[in-house]
Amino acid sequence: GQNIDQPTEMTATEGAIVQINCTYQTSGFNGLFWYQQHAGEAPTFLSYNVLDGLEEKGRFSSFLSRSKGYSYLLLKELQMKDSASYLCAVRDLERAGNMLTFGGGTRLMVKP
Amino acid sequence: DAGVTQSPTHLIKTRGQQVTLRCSPKSGHDTVSWYQQALGQGPQFIFQYYEEEERQRGNFPDRFSGHQFPNYSSELNVNALLLGDSALYLCASSLGEGIGHKGYTFGSGTRLTVV
């Protein structure tokens, strides 16, 4: 089975940097995804990590450590529009890559 | 380029009734997966359809069933609705049976309320 944990809520200030952590326990890890979901909208793809290290994409970066079962999403130069839920999801090798298991999501509130 | 479209956007049903939700995948995608997202929770995998067959199923009862049509669109059917079935139902499309490095493209979902 799989267990994915991330903080329920976080608050940060506009212009600041915030790090959202995700820890996972899985029987067959085969990649980790981060999605952004605004209230009432579809989740949108942010990043994908399958090897250890940092992937940078503009203001967003994602890090993975497979040995520690740990990932984080780093958001820089926060903007009000970054207020959303951030979902960590793991692909399980035993499921032949056919599904993602999601954490409960982290609701980020950006304040002026 | 049309993304994933779902209908209806909102639905209210009575306990015990049956419901059908519809999804058209993103142009060029041939695989449809369905997820249930309860309020304040992450999405939970229901099942995946590829080549008009159910290929993988999550931990959901047989009351949840689906279908994929030759044009790759899909339906999710839920029978004998329970109050606990109230949730946002997300359709996600992708190309091929496995999930590539770009993950899914999600629709905006159908908000089902069971009263």
A-chain residue closest to B108, CA distance: A42
Going by their DSSP bridges, the two strands A9-13 and A106-111 should be labelled as parallel
pLDDT of A75 above 60: yes
A-chain residue closest to B5, CA distance: A42
Q: Which pair of structure tokens corresponds to residue A36?
A: 């952004």
B-chain residue closest to A38, CA distance: B108
Q: What is the mean pLDDT of residues B4-19?
A: 97
Across the interface, which of A42, A95, A104 has its CB nearest the CB of B41? A104
Q: Residue A95's pLDDT is what?
A: 63
pLDDT of A93 above 90: no
Across the interface, which of A4, A42, A48 has its CB nearest the CB of B103? A48
Q: What is the mean pLDDT of residues A72-95?
A: 92
Q: Which helix (H) or strand (E) is A32 found in, with range?
A: strand A29-37
What does the buried/exposed string (b/e) look like for B57-82 if buried means 16 or more CB atoms within 10 Å of the residue's CB?
A: ebebeeebbbebeeebbbbbebeebe
CA distance A59 to A97: 28
Q: Do A42 and B4 touch (CB under 8 A)?
A: yes
Q: Which pair of structure tokens corresponds to residue B55?
A: 């290929």
* Higher per-residue confidence, A41 vs A5: A5
pLDDT of B102 above 80: no
pLDDT class of B103 with cuts at 50, 70, 90: confident
CA distance A13 to A110: 5
CA distance B60 to A112: 42
Q: Do B103 and A98 touch (CB under 8 A)?
A: no
Q: Do B108 and A40 touch (CB under 8 A)?
A: yes
Across the interface, which of A41, A43, A48 has its CB nearest the CB of B101? A48
CA distance A88 to A5: 8
Bridge partners (DSSP) listed for residue A5? A23
pLDDT of A97 above 60: no
pLDDT of B1 above 60: no
